[in-house]
Amino acid sequence: MIHLETLEFSLFKGYMLKGYSSSFAKRRLEALKPYYALEKIEKYKRELSEALDYVGKSDIRIPSDAEFLSLYPRFDDPLLFLEPEELLIYSTFFQSVRDVKKSLLDGGVNHLKAHLSEIHVFSEITEDIDYTINDKGEIKDSASGLLQEIRLDLRTIRKQIQKELAGVFAHSSSTKFVQEQVITERSGRFTIPCKSNFKQYIQGIVHDRSSSGQTLYVEPSSTVGMNNTLQELLASEREESVRLLKELAVRIFESVSDINTTINAYTELVFHLETALFYKGKPYSFPDFGDNIEFRDVHHPVIYLEKGAESVPLDFSIADNELTAVVTGPNTGGKTAALKSIGLNHILGKCGLQLIAKYAKIVNFKNILADIGDKQSLVMDLSTFSAHMVNIRDILKKADSESLILMDEAGTGTEPQEGAALAVAVCRTLADKKAKSVVTTHFGEMKTYALTEETAIIYAVDFDYKDFSPKYRLLKGVTGKSDPLVIARRLSFPEDVVNLASSLISDKKSDSEITMEDISRMQADLEGRVKDYDDRLEELEERERRYIQKNEALRERLAKKESELLEEAVRLYNRAKRLSDKPQKLKETHDKEIERATARLKKVKKEIKPVDQVTIGDVIHLEKYDKTGCVLEIDGNNAKMDMGGMKITMKLKDLVGKKVTEKEKVQDVRVSRDVVAGGKSELLLIGKRVEEALDILDKQLDDSVLAGSSKLFIVHGRGSGQLRKGVHEFLRTDPRVKKYALASNEEGGEAITVVEI
């Protein structure tokens, strides 16, 4: 037995219901109760965990199915007949079911497959419904050959009737007997509104008259036969329409067994998806099951849903050899909320649901029994104390070794000494039955019991005595003080009354009582400081972890930057070497500098890690070029990249940067399938000094490599030949150049050098 209402299970489900779209999921949630078999609990945990993974990766939308739910109970009626709008509801629903099923199968679910295998989508019926009925809920002309023929005849006969009646309006004397030149329908027959003297001008049948009696709706004799034909065709149309609808209804009735199986499986499936969407974005954790209770940062779910970040999580534990936990401390400190949190979180865990927690271990109790709140019953003529006693009596009868008992202020409401003795007796009895109990109290006798009994532990609610505010935390091994005067001050009680009460209490206290209170308060303060220290330590460790990560990332970035600078240095040394007309000794010095820079560059490059596990389709931001590209092909140690429409082949070890996630996609990523790599580019150097031209050429070669160009046409002109000579000397030793030669006469001759990159 579980006291669901006392522990606010319905209140929590009410919060969940607010976000549900599916009426089937809502109905399933309303009927949700804790499971007793651990195998069943674990099964639902696995399914819900998979649903959480799925909704985290996909953008699923749960369809509204309220209309279908109201229609569903009628399907097992042998005389089932559905209107076109109802058939449309049927078709729309099962098309939505089909989409959900396909999406989950494409998502690669495993544990939810058992439900998917039992879902039928009735494609043939839905296709026939769509073939028969349009989006407006009307039967299509093309639904059958006979219906199409009947409706064609109907359109023809209507035109004939309208033409005949229009001829009446065109008669020269029509103004004398026609009230208004409009064709109206009365009793399914086309008529014209006439004055009471119409019989002097035309023959016809009166089908209706206006409320004033001045207008008569007359069917002229000339259209009686045509109207009769119209009625016959309308009857044939109704008969054929009913036949088509009945045929579809019979097929639905014949598949009712599969429909029921589908709905049961769909209900479970959509319930998991809706629940996963409810928990999405919340700090949830599935509880472990064992022989002891351990809460680490576990929220009361209702308080969390109400207050969000202001909710204070609970730390609480009872070892497997401990039976009774006594929670002490002042009112408004959070004792009752802690009781409800322990009970409600056990209920959620037994339902296979997540807790809003960092970690939790719970026990699969058979009974979760609670005595919390005002139990006064006017109907049964019971006082608050008597109502509590009746409830505790029933709890004692049901309690056993598989029970969790939660009692708030046991024994209060009567003479304190006797009430305290009764509370201790109840706790001893429950301990003898091996039940686990959590009890809040103000009684000193209960505190003594918790401190002296081997199977009992004591907790105190943390309280800030400087500003008289509760911290809503539990401190293990600490005896809390009730402090009614502190609470009175916090509630702005008259100061003179509080002072008088304080003096009366002081007169009756012994030195030993005062000493115990001081020790208890110091102990509570110490435990609170330890808790604050632990929280601070955890925060600092998290900061240290983030610092280490950032430091490693910074070191890698610095190494990459140093690599770029060293590459530039090597390039500058090479240029200086080319331009140097100094003695051989200076040339040797330059060679040594180049060797040192090259060695350092190799060492730095070893520290730079390329992107790991590159696959086709990855989008990578290359830090060196500040460009983003998509991997099109991988051939051995090389990768073919699409850089904004330009194709380029790079070694895998040179892919230094990071993979771009969906959320971080860089704006310059454009994957193009129709741009051809291997184009050509042109560089104009005419009029440049040799040194200046070689700098421009050096940069252009980099750009050409990055762009994937296979040829570079260097226009240096004829002139004295010095610029051409310098360009050729530069190209001769450059590793980016495959070969070079003067252009053919058609391409420009000696004025142009063609470079293959």
Q: Tell me: the pLDDT tens digits for 23-69?
A: 999 999 999 999 999 999 999 999 999 999 999 888 888 888 999 99
User: Measured at the alpha carbon of residue 625, what is the angle toward residues 696 and 559, in degrees to the nearest 5?
Assistant: 110
Indicate the residue among 458, 479, 508 that finishes a domain: 508
pLDDT digits (tens, 9 = 90+) for 122-150: 999 999 999 999 988 999 999 999 999 99
- Does 236 share its domain with 260? no
Asked whether the whole model's pTM tops 0.85, one would answer: no
Q: Judge whether 409 and 443 are in contact, CB under 8 Å.
A: no
454 domain-assigned:
yes
- Does 69 share its domain with 211? no
Sign of CA dihedral 497, 503, 505, 507: negative
What are 347's two structure tokens?
A: 């209920």
Indicate the residue among 652, 675, 698 that finishes a domain: 675
Confidence of residue 377 (pLDDT cuts 50, 70, 90): very low
- Does 262 share its domain with 388? no
Q: Judge whether 115 and 100 are in contact, CB under 8 Å.
A: no
Confidence of residue 636 (pLDDT cuts 50, 70, 90): confident
pLDDT digits (tens, 9 = 90+) for 509-533: 544 444 555 555 556 566 666 767 7
Domain count for the chain, please give it.
Answer: 5
pLDDT digits (tens, 9 = 90+) for 86-103: 999 999 999 999 999 999
Indicate the residue among 508, 542, 559 that finishes a domain: 508
- Does 309 share its domain with 200? no
Compute the distance between CA of residue 537 and CA of residue 531 in angstroms, rounded to an integer.
10
- Does 79 share its domain with 149? no
Confidence of residue 668 (pLDDT cuts 50, 70, 90): very low
Compute CA distances 410 → 270, 414, 440, 483, whole Å: 43, 11, 7, 18
Residue 199, domain extent: 143-247
CB under 8 Å to 148, separation ≥6 — which residues?
A: 141, 142
Greater confidence (275 vs 718) lies with: 275
402 domain-assigned:
yes
330 domain-assigned:
yes
Q: What is the residue-averaged pLDDT of the chain?
A: 83
Q: Judge whether 234 and 153 are in contact, CB under 8 Å.
A: no
539 domain-assigned:
no
- Does 209 share its domain with 90? no
pLDDT digits (tens, 9 = 90+) for 320-336: 999 999 998 877 778 88
Reduced to 3 states (helix: H, G, I; strand: E, B; else coil), residue 87 is helix
Q: Judge whether 439 and 427 are in contact, CB under 8 Å.
A: yes
Greater confidence (567 vs 228) lies with: 228
**CATH code of 629's domain:** 2.30.30
- Does 73 share its domain with 176? no
- Does 215 share its domain with 155? yes
pLDDT number for residue 624? 67
Parallel, antiparallel, or unpaired for β 367-371 and 293-298?
unpaired
pLDDT number for residue 521? 58
**CATH code of 422's domain:** 3.40.50.300
- Does 627 share its domain with 737? no
CB under 8 Å to 106, separation ≥6 — which residues?
A: none
Compute the distance between CA of residue 98 and CA of residue 629 in angstroms, rounded to an integer.
37
**CATH code of 175's domain:** 1.10.1420.10
Compute the distance between CA of residue 732 and CA of residue 726 in angstroms, rounded to an integer.
10
Q: Comparing C-alpha atoms, which of 121, 90, 89, 82 is closest to residue 105?
A: 121
What are 215's two structure tokens?
A: 């207008």
- Does 437 share its domain with 302? yes
**CATH code of 713's domain:** 3.30.1370.110
Confidence of residue 472 (pLDDT cuts 50, 70, 90): confident
- Does 750 share its domain with 704? yes
pLDDT number for residue 509? 52
Compute the distance between CA of residue 335 and CA of residue 332 in angstroms, rounded to an integer.
8
601 domain-assigned:
no
553 domain-assigned:
no
Compute CA distances 671 → 172, 426, 579, 658, whole Å: 77, 74, 42, 17
- For residue 368, the cross-strand partners are 2, 404
514 domain-assigned:
no
135 DSSP assignment? T
- Does 664 share its domain with 685? no
374 domain-assigned:
yes
Q: Comparing C-alpha atoms, which of 657, 711, 660, 717 is closest to residue 684?
A: 717
Most confident of 6-10, 658-662, 735-739: 6-10
